Amino acid sequence: MTAVAVDAPAVRASRRLLPASAGTIAPALLVSAGYVDPGNWGTDVAAGAQFGYRLVWVLALATVLALFLQYLSARLGLASGQDLASLLRTRLPRPARAALVPPILGVLVITEIVEVLGVVIGVQLLTGWSTGASVAVATALILAVLVAPPGVGRRTVYTCLGLVGAVYLSVLFQHGVGDVVAGLRPAPLPPGGIVVAAGLIGAVVMPHNILLHSALARDLREAADRTDGGRATPRRLARLSRRSLITTGAALGVAFAVNCAIMSITASGAGSGTDLADALGSVGAVTTVLFAITLIGAGLASSTANGMVSADVISRLVPGFPAPPAVRRIACLIPAALIAGSGLPQVTVLVWSQVLLTVALPLVLVPLVWFSAQRRTMGAWRLSPVTRVLAGLVVAGMFAAGAASLFA
C-alpha cells in the first residue's frame, strides 16, 4: 500500500492505493478508519447524552446498510476493474457529470475538514491550550504523517485504529453490554431524535468510503489480473468478493462496538452533549485524557485514509486538478481553525456535518446502483432484480432520512 505523497504526481490517475501483494484485510482496515472518525464521535456523544441507549438500533441498522453498500462498491471494482469515480467521469453524460462532480468534491472537503477538526478538538481537550496553539500542534501532526515516507501513513492508520479499538472495547466491557443489547430493539425515535439519527447514519454510511472501497477493489482486480496472466478467473474474483465481505463485516462489527462504547460514555447522563468537554462531564480526568488521545488518533487515521481516497478520486474526476494533498490539508485547517475558535458547540457542528453527508449520500449511491445493474459494466456480476430492488429501497431510505432531518 502506498501512502499519498505531497507532490503533483500523487494525484495522477495511475497511482494505486494498494500494491499487488495486498489482500482484502488491508482495504477493510482502511475503510474502517471512516467508521470511527471524529464525525462518529460527535454523533455518538450526542446520541448518548441526549437519548441514552435509545438510538443504538439506528447505529446497528446503519452498520448493516453500510456493509451492504460497501459490498456493492467492492463488487463494482472487482467486476469492472474500474472505480466509481472513473465510471462517473467516463460513462455519465456531460450534464450529469456537471451536476454530480461539484457536490461530490464538496463532500470530500467537508469530510476532510471534520477529520482535521477532530484532531484540533482532541489537542484542546488533552492540553487545555488555546485554539491557535491547538491548531499549530494539529497541523504539525497531520503534515508529519502526510510527508512521511511511503508506508508510514498506512502504519499510522493501523496503529491509531488499534489504539482506538483497544481503549473503547475495554470501555464497553467496563460499562457492560446489557444496555447496548437492550437498545438494539427498534423503537420510535424519541422527540428531537431525527437529526441525531440521521447523523449516525451519515457517520457510518459515508460517501467517501463508498468511493474508496471501489478504488481499493479496483487495485485488487488489477493484481489478480496480473497473477492470472492478464485476466482474473471468475473463481478468483468470487473468492476475493467473499473475503471482502467477511473482512469488511469484521471491521464494521468492531467499529460498531467502538461506537457503542463512545455512546456509553455519555449515555449515563454525564453531560449536556453540546460541547465535548461538557458532554464528558463527570467521567473523570483519566477517561477525558484517553478520550482526547484516541480522538486525535481517530482523526489522524481517518484524515490519512481520506487523504488517499481524496487524491485518487480527485485525480479521476478532475484530471490535472492543481491542488496536491498537502495544499488541500492546509486549506482544510483554515475552516477547522475558524470553527474551533468560533465558540460554536462542538458536538452540534460534528452532528450536522454528518447530517450533510446523509443528505449527500444519494449523489454516490444512485450511480453505484446504476452501474452495478448494468451488464456493460458488470457482465455476469450485474445485480439480480431482487438485489436491485433492495438497493433501490436502501437508497430511497437514505434520501428520506436526509430530507427528514433537514425539515425536523
The per-residue pLDDT for range 152-203, each reduced to its tens digit, is 777 787 788 888 888 888 888 877 789 999 999 999 999 989 999 999 999 9
What cell was used for 63?
452498520
Ranked by mean pLDDT, which of 105-114, 118-127, 379-388 comes out on top?
Answer: 379-388
Is 16 inside a domain boundary? no
Q: Is residue 232 part of a domain?
A: yes
In a domain, 11, yes or no: no
pTM (whole model) above 0.75: yes
Domain encompassing residue 163: 34-406
pLDDT of residue 7: 32
What is the 8-class DSSP label of residue 343? T
Residue 59 has pLDDT above 80, yes or no: yes
Using CB atoms within 10 Å of the CB of residue 404, give its burial: 0 to 12 exposed, 13 to 18 middle, 19+ buried. middle
Whether the predicted pLDDT of 289 surpasses 90: no
Given a contact cutoff of 8 angstroms between Cβ atoms, the answer to whether 378 and 371 are in contact is: yes
Find how far residue 306's CA is from the centre of its chain: 8
> Are 165 and 254 in contact, with CB atoms under 8 Å apart?
yes
pLDDT in tens, 196-245: 999 999 999 989 889 988 988 999 999 899 988 888 899 999 999 999 99
Provide the pLDDT for residue 283. 59
The predicted pLDDT at position 325 comes to 65
Q: What is the pLDDT of residue 352?
A: 93
State the pLDDT at residue 66: 95
Q: Is the dihedral of CA 17, 219, 30, 379 positive or negative?
A: positive
Q: Is 42 within the bounds of a domain?
A: yes
pLDDT in tens, 313-333: 888 888 877 766 667 667 777
Residue at 293 is within a domain: yes
CATH number of the domain where residue 226 is located = 1.20.1740.10
Kindly state whether residue 20 falls inside one of the protein's structural domains.
no
Tell me, what DSSP letter sits at residue 323?
-
Residue pair 360/107 in contact (Cβ under 8 Å)? The answer is yes
Q: How far is CA 146 from CA 22, 70, 106, 150, 274, in A?
A: 21, 26, 21, 9, 31
Q: Tell me whether residue 93 is in a domain.
A: yes
**What pLDDT sits at residue 128?**
85
Look at 1 and 286; give whichever has higher pLDDT: 286
Say what the pLDDT of residue 304 is: 76
Residue 19 in any domain: the answer is no
Using an 8 Å Cβ cutoff, are 266 and 279 in contact?
A: yes
CB 207 within 8 A of CB 363: yes
- Count of domains for the chain: 1
Would you say residue 25 has pLDDT above 70? no
pLDDT tens, position by position, 246-288: 999 998 998 999 999 889 888 865 455 556 666 665 556 777 7
The pLDDT of residue 80 is above 70 = yes
Q: How far apart are CA 125 and CA 134, in angstroms?
A: 9
